[in-house]
Chains A and B, each alone.
Chain A
C-alpha cells in the first residue's frame, strides 16, 4: 500500500495506516448514538477536532460541509468528533448549517480520541486529527495537524482516491 503516512512528529502515538480502527459508540444527537461498526461496508472519514465554535474548527467544518459531495462520490461518510456535549453539537451544527454528523466524545470524556491516540491531556481536548477508515474498518490514512492549523480536505481526498484505485497526480 503505497500511501502517504503523514502523522506529525509531536504525536507519534496516533494510530496509523493498517491498524484496525477501534470501535466507539458516541451520541450523534441527544437521544441517539452510533457505533463505528454502523459505517462498515463503506469508507468513513473521522475528523477529530478540539471544540465547537473555536475559529479554526469552524473554518474546518465549514470547508468539509462544502466538500461533502466529493466525499460522497467515493461513497464515504464523514463524522466530526469533539468532546462537546450532543446539545452543544446541535446548536453548532444548526448555526453553521452542517450536513454531516457531529459526535459527542463527552462521556467518558475523550475516550474515543484516547483510543486513537489523539487526546491531549494537557488541554483536555482532542487534537486536530483525521482518520480515513476503509470499508473493512481498518485505518487507511491518518494525519495530526498542529492544533491551530486547518488541515484542509486535500489529504482526505487523496486518501479516498488512492483507496478507490484512482490514479493520483
Chain B
C-alpha cells in the first residue's frame, strides 16, 4: 500500500464522487491522475480517448486531479474549472477542452470555455472565485500521493499502478491483461 512497493495500489477506491466515463458493468477500470497543464497528460489524452472507443464496453474510465501547481501555475485553476463544469453536469466536455488548449488556461480563457459550453457563467465564475472546488482537487491530489502517484500522468488499471507507457498500445495491453485475468 505504498510507493515503496513496485506496484503501488490505489488507496482511495473509485466511488460516487469520481468522474467516470463508460459503463459500470465494465470489467476493467482505468483511472488517470492528471494535470491539465502537463504536456505528457495532453499527449496521453488522445490515446485514452482512442482506446476508449476501441473497447467501449470493457472499460470504465475515471479521472482525478494531480496538479503540480508550483511548476504549472494554471493547473489548479484549470482543475477547479473542470469541477465547476462538472457541477453543471459538463465535466468531460470541459476536460476535453482544457487538454486541447493547455497553453491557454488563464481565468479569462476558462470563462470563455465555460461560455462556449453554454454553462451558467455567473455560477461558474462565482465557484472559481470562492474556491468552491479547491478542497476537492486537493483531496484528489492527496489520494494520489498516498497511492504512489509521483508525477503525471499516472494510470491505475483495476486499482494497480500501470508502470508502462501511455500510448494506446501500452494501455490496451494493460487492459487486455486485466481482462484475461478476470476471465
What residues make up the interface of A, taking CB atoms closer than 8 Å to B?
Answer: 4, 6, 59-60, 62-63, 65-67, 70, 96-99, 143, 150-155, 157-158, 169
Q: Is B130 an interface residue (CB 8 A)?
A: no
Task: Answer whether A154 and B2 are a contact pair too, CB < 8 Å, given A63-B150, A66-B141, A70-B142.
Answer: yes
Inter-subunit contact B69/A6 (CB<8 Å): no
Chain A residues with CB under 8 Å of B147's CB are: 154
Residues 66-93 of B, flagged 1 when their CB comes within 8 A of A and 0 if not, give 0111110000000000000000000000
Among residues of A, the one whose C-beta sits closest to the C-beta of B147 is A154
Can you name 20 A-B pairs with beta carbons within 8 Å?
A6-B4, A59-B151, A60-B150, A62-B70, A66-B70, A70-B145, A96-B71, A97-B71, A99-B70, A143-B4, A150-B151, A151-B3, A152-B148, A153-B145, A153-B150, A154-B2, A154-B8, A155-B2, A155-B4, A169-B1
Inter-subunit contact B68/A62 (CB<8 Å): yes
What residues make up the interface of B, taking CB atoms closer than 8 Å to A?
Answer: 1-4, 8, 11, 67-71, 141-142, 145-151
Task: Answer whether A169 and B11 are a contact pair too, CB < 8 Å, given A150-B150, A154-B145.
Answer: yes
Among residues of B, the one whose C-beta sits closest to the C-beta of A96 is B71
Inter-subunit contact A63/B68 (CB<8 Å): yes
Number of A-B contacts (CB under 8 A): 62
> How long is the Cα–Cα vector from A62 to B67 in the complex, in angstroms?
11
Among residues of A, the one whose C-beta sits closest to the C-beta of B68 is A62
Nearest 9 pairs between A and B by C-beta? Answer: A152-B3, A150-B150, A154-B3, A152-B150, A59-B151, A97-B70, A6-B4, A65-B70, A155-B4
Among residues of B, the one whose C-beta sits closest to the C-beta of A6 is B4
* Other 18 A-B pairs with CB < 8 A, given A59-B150, A63-B68, A66-B68: A4-B4, A62-B68, A62-B70, A63-B145, A63-B150, A63-B151, A66-B67, A70-B145, A96-B71, A97-B71, A99-B70, A153-B3, A153-B150, A154-B3, A154-B8, A155-B3, A157-B146, A169-B11
Give min CB distance, A128 to chain B, whole Å.
12
Among residues of B, the one whose C-beta sits closest to the C-beta of A97 is B70
Chain B residues with CB under 8 Å of A60's CB are: 150
Chain A residues with CB under 8 Å of B67's CB are: 66
> How long is the Cα–Cα vector from A70 to B3 in the complex, in angstroms?
16
Inter-subunit contact B70/A154 (CB<8 Å): no
Chain A residues with CB under 8 Å of B151's CB are: 59, 62-63, 150
Chain B residues with CB under 8 Å of A158's CB are: 2
> How long is the Cα–Cα vector from A6 to B147 in the complex, in angstroms?
17
Give min CB distance, B5 to chain A, whole Å.
9
Between B1, B2, B11, B141, the greatest number of chain A beta carbons within 10 A of the residue's beta carbon is seen for B2
Inter-subunit contact A154/B68 (CB<8 Å): no
